[in-house]
Structures are given as structure tokens and as C-alpha cells.
Amino acid sequence: MSLDRPPETVRAYLADLRRALKGAPAGLISDALADAEDHLNNEIANNPEIPESQILATVIDTYGTPQEIAEEYRDMEATIGGPFPKSEDAPERRYGFFNVVSDPRTYGALLYMLLSLVTGIFYFTWTVTGISLTIGFAILIIGIPFALLFIGSIRVLAHIEGRIVEGLLGVRMPRRLPPATQADETLWARIKDGLTDSRTWSSMFYFLLKLPLGIAYFVIAIAGLASSLGIVGGSLYVLITGDYGHQIYDEPWLRFMLQKAPGLVLTALIGVLLFFVVLHIARGIGWLHGRIAEVLLVRL
């Protein structure tokens, strides 16, 4: 649709708004579309006797054109910000090897990795159990309301996970739930809407994927931190107390690294370097998982 011609349907208005927000974070676009869809549908529901095109013309005068709404959302996003400082507010970042320790995203990603095992188990169990019970109840009278409850729970959990991802990984995710179904919509229509909504299935896939990813993240975080801190702590302990706790006869280089002061200092430095490597891995995993969550949990 031409930008010079005002939209005459809700779908056309949302399409224009989506184009006007091109390049913005997916979570911001999702929120803007959901707000606009809710507002326009409410206006149409309150004026059933007026043609949709006429309602759209009136709403545009009061609510704003898609381009005006897009500009307002961009300005609002720049004002409100997120859990991490924006580039224009934060000091210039230098991407040296050791500067990772001053990046708050590093520790958010590390905490997310540690939490992922618990959330992954819960999401996987909830999804598998819900799918199994929905299929099992399909032949019973409670099958329809149970299917609606399960689809609704998936949407709520996806929203909660999005808030966790934004809070810890700094990826802009939707800050409101998707628009509710119309009050006069039938049960079958609601189920159809849920089943045909691609985000329902992508969210389920995300929850199933979260278990293996959560196990991998947890193991990497624990093994990496334990190894690096253990090497540093053990080296410093032996260096200070002189208590080797073991004897090494056949490997001279091991005796040098684990019993002699120069070797112990070198071993401790290796442990420190390993700690920074773990922080870099955590930040990289946080960035990668943020992209995965954005693709699977955000509907545009």
C-alpha cells in the first residue's frame, strides 16, 4: 500500500506500521503492533454499525498514522531504555580481552547459564506433559477447554521467558502479552487461532530446545568457573602454605608447575586467563541465545 494513501483496514494499518518500524528491535515492533491491534479492534467492536474504513479514518486522526506511531515508539524506546546502558549513554567500549570483566552483559549471561538448567527442565516437562494430555483429552469433553488453557499457558510462559532474556541478556523482547481473543469468538475459533499462530509452535520448540541448551550452558558455566577458580586457588594455597599434598617423581615439568614458586605463579596466571576465557564464552553464549529467543519467541 502506498504511504500516501491512508490504510482502510486493520491489517493494512498494521502492515504500514510494521514497515515504518523496519530496523527496530523485534520486541519493540511486536509491542507496537499489539497495542495498535488492540486499540483498532476495540474501536471497531464499539462501533459495529460503522464501516471499518470509516472507523480507520477517524482513528488515524486521533490515534495517529502508522508513521507517527512508529516515531513515537522509537522515541519512547530511546527514553525508557532497557536493563543495560545504551551506547550513547555508556562510555566508549573497548573490546580488549580483559575488558569483558567490566561488561554487565557478561554477568547477566553467566547468571542466565546457571538458571537455564532449572528453567529448561521446567519448560520441557510442561510442554511435553501439556502436549500429551491435550492429545489424550481430545476425545473427551474437557479436551477443548484444556487445549485452550495449555495454549494460553505457552503464551504466558513465552512472555515470562522473554522478560528473563531481556533482563539478563539485554535483548529487547515484547513487554506485553499478545492481544487477547475477542469475547464473542467461539471456542473452536480460539483453538484455531492458537493452532495457526506460528508463535505457539515456535514457543513450544523453544521450550523443548531449552533443556539440552540449559544442560550445556550449566555444564559450561560450572566446569569453566570451577576449573579456573580451582587452579588459581590451589596454586595460591600451595604457594602460601607450601603444602603440596602429593609427590610427583616422574614428571619434572609437573614438579616445576605444582611445587616450585615460579611454576605455581605461572599456573595461577593460567587459571586467571582461563577465567577470562570463560567470561568471553558466557558473553558469546548470551548473545547467541538472545538471537535464538528473538527468532522463536517474538511474533511479527
Q: Could you list the mean pLDDT of each consecutive 10-residue stretch along the chain, which spans 300 residues?
A: 66 89 89 87 82 83 86 84 57 68 90 96 96 89 85 92 94 80 57 74 95 97 93 81 60 59 79 93 95 89
**What angle, 0 to 180 degrees and rounded to 10, lies between the N-to-C axes of helices 10-20 and 26-46?**
160
Three-state SS for 250?
Answer: coil
Give the per-residue pLDDT at 94. 56
How confident is the model at residue 181, as a pLDDT?
54
Q: Is residue 165 part of a domain?
A: no
Give me the domain span that covers residue 57.
Answer: 1-80
Q: Cβ neighbours of residue 181 under 8 Å, at least 6 residues apart?
A: 189, 190, 193
Answer whether residue 22 is part of any domain. Answer: yes
- Grid cell digits, residue 50: 460503522
Q: How many domains does the chain have?
A: 1
Neighbours of 164 (CB within 10 A): 16
What cell does 240 get? 602460601
Q: The whole model's pTM is what?
A: 0.81
Within a domain: 235: no
Distances (CA, A) of 210 to 115, 178, 278: 11, 22, 21
Residue 41 included in any domain: yes
Q: Are 105 and 169 in contact (CB under 8 A)?
A: yes
pLDDT, position 92: 54
pLDDT of residue 77: 83
Residue 228: the pLDDT is 92
Note whether residue 264 is domain-resident.
Answer: no
| The pLDDT of residue 167 | 92
> Is 7 contained in some domain?
yes
Q: Is residue 288 part of a domain?
A: no
* DSSP assignment letter at 7: P
Let me know if residue 40 belongs to a domain.
yes
Residue 183 has a pLDDT of 46
User: In this predicted structure, what is the pLDDT of residue 223?
Assistant: 95
Which region holds residue 64: left if phi is over 0, alpha if psi is between -120 and 50, else beta?
left
Whole-angstrom Cα distance, residue 212 to residue 121? 9
Report residue 267 CA to chain centroid gap.
Answer: 38
Q: Report how far residue 261's alpha carbon sits from residue 274's, in angstroms, rounded to the nearest whole number.
A: 20
Alpha helix ranges (H) inside the chain: 10-20, 26-46, 52-63, 66-80, 104-136, 143-169, 187-196, 198-241, 252-259, 261-297
| 292 phi-psi bin (left φ>0, alpha ψ -120 to 50, beta other) | alpha
Q: What are phi and psi of 256, to 5 degrees?
A: -65, -45
